[in-house]
Amino acid sequence: MTDHSHPSQSDILVLVGTRKGVFIFSSNVDRKSWEMSGPHWAGSDTFHAVYDERGDGRLWVVRNDPVFGSEVHWSDDLGETWQSSQIGPHVVSDPSVELNSLWHVTPGRADEPDVVYLGAEPATLFKSEDAGETWNEVEGITLHPTRDRWMPGFGGMCLHSIVLDPNSKDRMTVGVSAAGVFGTEDGGATWSPLNRGVRADFMPEPFPEVGQCPHKMLAHPAKPDRLYQQNHCGVFRSDNGGSEWLDISSDLPSRFGLPLALHPHDSDTAYVLPEDKVVGDQLGGGIRFVTDAKFRIFRTRNAGQDWEPLTNGLPQENAYLHAMRDGMATDTLDPCGVYVGTSTGQLFFSRDEGDSWDLLTDYLPPINSVETVVIV
């Protein structure tokens, strides 16, 4: 692989956030050979890197540095130069809440070009209306009346999933570990728990109002009321924007897992990576490698009624591998590609919707996040 900072037309980019910086992999649409640039922000624990397709395109990065702290950066030339927020995210509504780390950045809707959202730990949400120059706290999350019942998961009490309704600027949904899913209908002023039907096996009440531990939540881009979540206690689907959830875990070898990915064109197709957790139902720590030490991506083509293991090209013995919650993604090509990164630095990918797999690269630092974009 060689340095590659300026993708030509019709390139696909795979953005990989790691504990030691960001790596960018690029290929033509055949996805048969890849070039690499990076690491950008070498040495920094990069929780998330994502490409903003609005305007001329922008790369967003959130990093957590042991010396310089947590910062938001962006690049308009794929990492050759960088800019940073003039005023970084900070909590004003509750002086007792001090940010520990930045987790996830989500570009705003297509018709709000300067809006960007940011999730952080402990469980806070920020919004920028000036393309990242400054950030304002969404106080309805920080001051939520149920917050005294929220608790940290193994990765802290993080707000890690941000789902925007493309048809309404007032509607969005977020996932917090371990508090649950929350939705707003008024642009963030108020938030309602959206956890009906979601298990919390580690709680005295197995179906509480709040306290669930979603690991990753996504909405299908063509069907925004269809949500999927990989939870600490199973995989769930909602067909009504989170008002009710259906347990779709029955065919999986483990209810536990972290990452989740959706087929870009088919709202019935989703991908998960089941892992074993612990003996018993305690919330944190534990085994956290793939069930039976077999690296199997599971795919459903019927919205969770059935799941099939995808194994062709993936290690099926002595594979003590683990993936983080943002560690899986799909691209928008046809057939779509599927990508999953591990905490030991392997990046696997499929060109045919998961039917067969290859190793895109090895020996990366531990992978925190994987995102893709097709630039046409």
The per-residue pLDDT for range 242-260, each reduced to its tens digit, is 999 999 999 999 999 999 9
301 vs 308: CA distance, rounded Å: 9
For the chain, give the percent of residues with pLDDT over 70: 95
Q: Which residues of 329-339 are buried (b: 16+ CB within 10 A; e: fewer)?
A: bbbebeebbbb
Whether the predicted pLDDT of 177 surpasses 50? yes
Instruction: Find the helix or strand (DSSP H, E) in which 142 lies.
Output: helix 139-142
Q: What is the DSSP letter of 196?
A: T
The DSSP bridge partners found for residue 159 are 176
The predicted-structure confidence for 41-95, as pLDDT tens digits, reads as follows 999 999 999 999 999 999 999 999 888 889 999 999 999 999 999 999 999 999 8
The predicted-structure confidence for 94-150, as pLDDT tens digits, reads as follows 988 999 999 999 999 999 999 999 999 999 999 999 999 999 999 999 999 999 999
Identify which of 196, 215, 194 has the alpha carbon closest to the alpha carbon of residue 207.
196
Q: What is the pTM of this model?
A: 0.94
Q: How far is CA 114 from the centre of its chain?
A: 22
What local confidence, expressed as pLDDT, does residue 328 receive? 98
The predicted-structure confidence for 77-86, as pLDDT tens digits, reads as follows 999 999 999 9
What local confidence, expressed as pLDDT, does residue 286 receive? 67
CB burial class (10 A; 0-12, 13-18, 19+) of residue 6? exposed
What local confidence, expressed as pLDDT, does residue 170 receive? 96
129 vs 299: CA distance, rounded Å: 37
